A and B are shown apart, each in its own frame.
Chain A
Amino acid sequence: METKDRDRFDELLDKALHQYGNVEPRIGLERRILANMQVAENRVHTGFRWLAAGIVAAALGIAMGTGIWHQALTPKQNIAAPTLPQDGARNVSSATIPSHARLIRPRTSQPRRHTAAGSSVALVDSPRLDQFPSPLPLSQEELLLASYAEHFPKEALLVAQEQRNFEEEIRLAELDAGAASTIPDQGR
Chain B
Amino acid sequence: MTQQTFVSLAQMVGTNEDAIEAAVREHARLVYRIAYSVLRNHHDAEDATQETFVRVLRYRRKLEGVEDPKTWLAKIAWRVAVERSRRKGVNQSLNDAETQAASMQLRSGLASAEDSVLGTEMAQLLTSFISALPERLRAVLRLSTVEELSAVEIAHVLGSSESAVRSRLFRARQILKEKLVALEGKYGNKR
Contact = CB atoms under 8 A, between A and B. Distances in A.
B147 interface: yes
Given A19-B117, A21-B37, A25-B42, A12 B180 contact: yes
B176 A13 contact: yes
Contact of B123 (A12, A19, A32, A41): A19
Contact of A36 (B33, B53, B106): B53
Interface in A2-32: 5-6, 8-10, 12-13, 15-26, 29-30, 32
A26 B126 contact: no
5 contacts: A12-B109, A15-B115, A23-B42, A32-B46, A37-B24
A40 interface: yes
B130 to A, nearest CB: 7
Nearest to B122: A16
Contacts of B141: 17
Q: Identify whether the interface residues of A are mostly helix, strand, loop, or mixed.
A: helix
A5 B188 CA distance: 14
A77 to B, nearest CB: 52
Contacts of A136: none
A21 B110 contact: no
Contact of A8 (B32, B110, B130): B110
A16 B53 contact: no
Counting from the closest, the 10 A-B pairs by CB-CB distance are A21-B145, A25-B32, A40-B54, A23-B36, A16-B126, A36-B50, A30-B28, A20-B145, A30-B25, A9-B177
Contacts of A12: 106, 109-110, 180
B49 A26 contact: no
B37 A20 contact: yes
B145 A30 contact: no
Q: Identify whether the interface residues of B are mostly helix, strand, loop, or mixed.
A: helix
Given A23-B36, A37-B20, A32 B180 contact: no
B21 interface: yes
Nearest to A14: B173
A21 B33 contact: yes
B133 interface: no
Contacts of A95: none
B7 interface: no
A22 to B, nearest CB: 7
Given A9-B181, A15-B109, A22-B147, A32 B42 contact: no
A37 B109 contact: no
A183 interface: no
B180 A33 contact: no
For A9, A13, A15, which residue has the most chain B Cβ atoms within 10 angstroms? Answer: A9
B118 interface: yes
